[in-house]
Amino acid sequence: MNSDAACRLYLITPPAIDDLSEFAARLPAVLDAGDVACLQVRLKPVDDDTVKRAVAALLPVCDAADVAVILNDRPDLAATLGCDGVHIGPEDTPYAEARRIVGPDATVGVSAKTSRHTAMALADAGADYIAFGAFYPSSTKVNTEHATPDLLEIWTETTTVPCVAIGGITPENCAPLISAGADFLAVSAGVWSHVDGPEVAVRLFSQKMAR
C-alpha cells in the first residue's frame, strides 16, 4: 500500500455484511471501478470467527486486484490471517505492540483524530500512515472530533508520512480534502450507500482524485 503522488481511495467495508458471499462476488467490480489502494475490514461488533470468515472470503479477491487488506483494531488476527496490515485507534493496541505483532513488513496505520502532536509522535515511532478526522458527519464514526482541511495542509508541509482523511466523505464533498493534500480518502458509506451503487461511487471518487 503506497500513495505514489496522487490521492487514492482507502475503502472500508460496511460495519455489517449480511451476505458475505454476495459481497465478495460483487467486490471485484467495485475494486475495478477506480484506483482503490486498500480495503479495510471493519466489522463491529462481531466475534473473531466472523472476522476470520470475512478475511478468508475477501483476501483472495483483493489479492487478485492488487489491493491491500488492512484489518481494523486487531493486530493479532491481522498477523495470523495473512492481512497486509492493521489499523489501530487511540484506544486500541499501542503502536509499538501492534508493530511487534504484525512484524516490520506489514502496514501499521494509526488514527490521530485532530491532534498533530499525537500524529507526530506516532509518525516518529514508525507508523506507515496517519488518519485524521472526522472531516464531515459520519454514520460509522459518531461522537468524534471535527477536523478541517488545514490539518492536512500543515501535515503535508511538515512531514512525508502519508495521511488519510476519514469521516463522512462523499464524491460531492471530497475536493477540499484532495486539494489540502490527503494521500488517501477513507470511505465506507460514501461508497456502499451511494444512490447509484458502489461501482459508480468509486468511479466518481477516482475522477475527482485524478483532477
Q: What is the mean pLDDT of residues 68-85?
A: 98
Q: What is the pLDDT of residue 4?
A: 57
Domain extents in the chain:
8-210
For domain 8-210, say whether CATH 3.90.1580.10 is its number. Answer: no
For the record, the C-alpha cell of 58 comes out as 475477501
Per-residue pLDDT of 127-184, as tens digits, reads 999 999 999 987 665 556 789 999 999 999 999 999 999 999 999 999 999 999 999 9
Q: Model confidence at 90, in pLDDT bands (50, 70, 90)?
A: confident
First to last CA, the chain: 21
Which one-letter amino acid corresponds to residue 91? E
14 CA to centre of own chain: 12
For the record, the C-alpha cell of 119 comes out as 500524529
